[in-house]
Amino acid sequence: MSEVLHFGASGNGETDDTKAIQHAIHDGDGPIVFARGDYRITKTIEIDLDKASRIGIDGSLGTAKVIMEGPGPAFRFVGTHGGTADPKSFKPNVWQKQRFPVIQNIEITGTHPQAVGIELVGTMQASLVGVLLRDLHHGIHLVKRNRNVLINGCQIYHNTGAGIFCDALNLHQINITGNHISYNRLGGIRIVGSEIRNLQITGNDIEYNNYRSHKEAKPDEPTAEILIDCRGQVDQSPRPSVREFTIASNTIQATHSPGGANIRILGPDPTGELPPGMAAISGNVIGNQAINVHLQSCRGIALSGNFIYSGWQHNLLAEHCDDLSITGNTFGHNSWRSDHEWQTNIQLADSTDCVLSGLQVRGAPSGTSTWEADWSDGAITEHDALIELLRCRRISLSGCHIRDATPNAILLDTCQAINISGCQIHDTRNSIQMMHAVLGRQKNTAIAMSANIIGACTKETISCQGVVRDATIAP
159-216 pLDDT, tens per residue?
A: 999 999 999 999 999 999 999 999 999 999 999 999 999 999 999 999 999 988 887 7
- Specify the DSSP class assigned to residue 6: G
Quick one: how far is CA 15 from the chain centroid? 40
Q: What confidence category does residue 126 fall into, taking pLDDT thresholds of 50, 70 and 90?
A: very high
Checking if the pLDDT of 32 tops 50, the result is: yes
Q: Helices then strands (H, E): number in the chain?
A: 3, 44
Mean pLDDT in residue range 132-149:
97
Give the residue from 444, 459, 335, 450 showing the smallest Cα distance to 409: 459
pLDDT value at residue 292: 96
pTM for the complete prediction?
Answer: 0.94
Q: What confidence category does residue 380 fall into, taking pLDDT thresholds of 50, 70 and 90?
A: low
* Digit-coded pLDDT (tens) for 316-335: 999 999 999 999 999 998 76
Mean pLDDT in residue range 129-155:
97
Checking if the pLDDT of 373 tops 60, the result is: no
Query: What is the C-alpha separation between 196 and 148, in angstroms, rounded?
Result: 11
Choice among 22-36, 325-339, 411-425, 430-444 with the minimum mean pLDDT: 325-339
Contact (Cβ atoms closer than 8 angstroms) between residue 254 and residue 262: yes
* Digit-coded pLDDT (tens) for 49-62: 999 889 999 999 99
Mean pLDDT in residue range 323-351:
88
Mean pLDDT in residue range 10-23:
97
pLDDT value at residue 376: 46
Q: What is the 3-state secondary structure (H, E, C) of 182-202?
A: ECCCCCCEEEECCEEEEEEEE
pLDDT value at residue 82: 81
Which contacts qualify for 51-56: CB closer than 8 Å, 24 or more apart?
Answer: 51/26, 52/25, 52/26, 52/97, 53/96, 53/97, 54/30, 54/97, 54/98, 54/99, 54/100, 54/101, 55/25, 55/30, 55/31, 55/101, 55/102, 56/30, 56/31, 56/32, 56/101, 56/102, 56/103, 56/104
Residues 6+ apart with CB under 8 A from 325: 301, 302, 303, 304, 354, 355, 357
Choice among 74-78, 94-98, 224-228, 448-452 with the minimum mean pLDDT: 94-98
Q: Is 463 exposed, middle or buried (0-12, 13-18, 19+ CB in 10 A)?
A: middle
pLDDT value at residue 416: 97
**Cis amide prior to 268 (ω within 30 degrees):** no
Query: What is the C-alpha separation between 191 and 193, in angstroms, rounded?
Result: 7
Handedness of CA 122, 225, 303, 127 (dihedral sign): positive
pLDDT value at residue 467: 87
Q: What's the mean per-residue pLDDT of the chain?
A: 92
E strands, 320-407, where?
322-327, 330-332, 346-349, 352-357, 360-362, 387-390, 393-398, 401-403
Measured CA distances, 34 to 3, 10, 37, 129, 132 (Å): 6, 10, 8, 15, 14
pLDDT value at residue 237: 56
Contact (Cβ atoms closer than 8 angstroms) between residue 158 and residue 134: yes
Checking if the pLDDT of 25 tops 50, the result is: yes
Query: What is the C-alpha separation between 181 and 161, in angstroms, rounded?
Result: 12
Q: What confidence category does residue 238 fall into, taking pLDDT thresholds of 50, 70 and 90?
A: low
Mean pLDDT in residue range 331-353:
85
Mean pLDDT in residue range 6-28:
96
pLDDT value at residue 371: 61
Q: What confidence category does residue 372 fall into, taking pLDDT thresholds of 50, 70 and 90?
A: low
**Residue ranges of the domains in the chain?**
333-475
* Digit-coded pLDDT (tens) for 274-292: 899 999 999 999 999 989 9
Measured CA distances, 451 to 220, 326, 398, 411, 463 (Å): 49, 20, 10, 19, 17
pLDDT value at residue 298: 96
Q: What confidence category does residue 262 fall into, taking pLDDT thresholds of 50, 70 and 90?
A: very high
pLDDT value at residue 424: 97
pLDDT value at residue 211: 86
Give the residue from 153, 107, 111 showing the smallest Cα distance to 133: 107
Percent of the chain exceeding pLDDT 90 equals 75
Q: What confidence category does residue 218 fall into, taking pLDDT thresholds of 50, 70 and 90?
A: confident
Instruction: Report the chain's terminal Cα–Cα distance, integer Å.
Output: 76
Mean pLDDT in residue range 364-389:
72
pLDDT value at residue 87: 83
Residue type, 254: A
Helix intervals (H) in 4-75: 18-27, 49-52
pLDDT value at residue 374: 47
